[in-house]
A and B are shown apart, each in its own frame.
Chain A
Amino acid sequence: NAGVTQTPKFQVLKTGQSMTLQCAQDMNHNSMYWYRQDPGMGLRLIYYSASEGTTDKGEVPNGYNVSRLNKREFSLRLESAAPSQTSVYFCASTAEYSNQPQHFGDGTRLSIL
């Protein structure tokens, strides 16, 4: 099973460029999440999606947009990249109940110059 797949794995952007990070899961999960990981800060929630067509802001949503077009895929878009968005981005998914663990992708390492 692939689990949660993220593309690309690495990306370097210039300030002001835009890009979309892709995420897909094959576990039939309803809930999907985008986190960013920065040194010494753990992971912080950017956006969340409870189901197809619904999204909600997390702790650090500024500068990002998301799209949940179907149950499998949840994309994260940077419209105008800034150096402060240099980070490792993780997508995760989980089943219905809060006692179920989230499954994570391998991450996208994004550098913005």
Chain B
Amino acid sequence: QLQLQESGPGLVKPSETLSLTCTVSGGSISSSSYYWGWIRQPPGKGLEWIGSIYYSGSTYYNPSLKSRVTISVDTSKNQFSLKLSSVTAADTAVYYCARHMGKVTESWFDPWGQGTLVTVSS
């Protein structure tokens, strides 16, 4: 059964870079059928897609975050990572990683990791 687990600092200072890693177990991140994505949820609010990556390194980013986001993949470790630069309090959220399934233009997320809360504060 495929499982995803987010890891990284729970506290980041304003203006610094948020870095998270998602470790995939129970399956290969190099599968040709899937992208791998990051989604976030501010406390008490809805879901926001951040971006997704294919094992080859091809990426899609949310246009509203694109200038600050970098997603990378390490197939040798079965991991993919998120970097979000110049963070502010508005970036405080639970960050989820998920498998991004289907044709990109018809795609959905399943399964999801348990999520990790990242707080931006000095």
Q: Do A and B come from one complex?
A: no
A residues near B, CB below 8 A?
Answer: none
B residues near A, CB below 8 A?
Answer: none
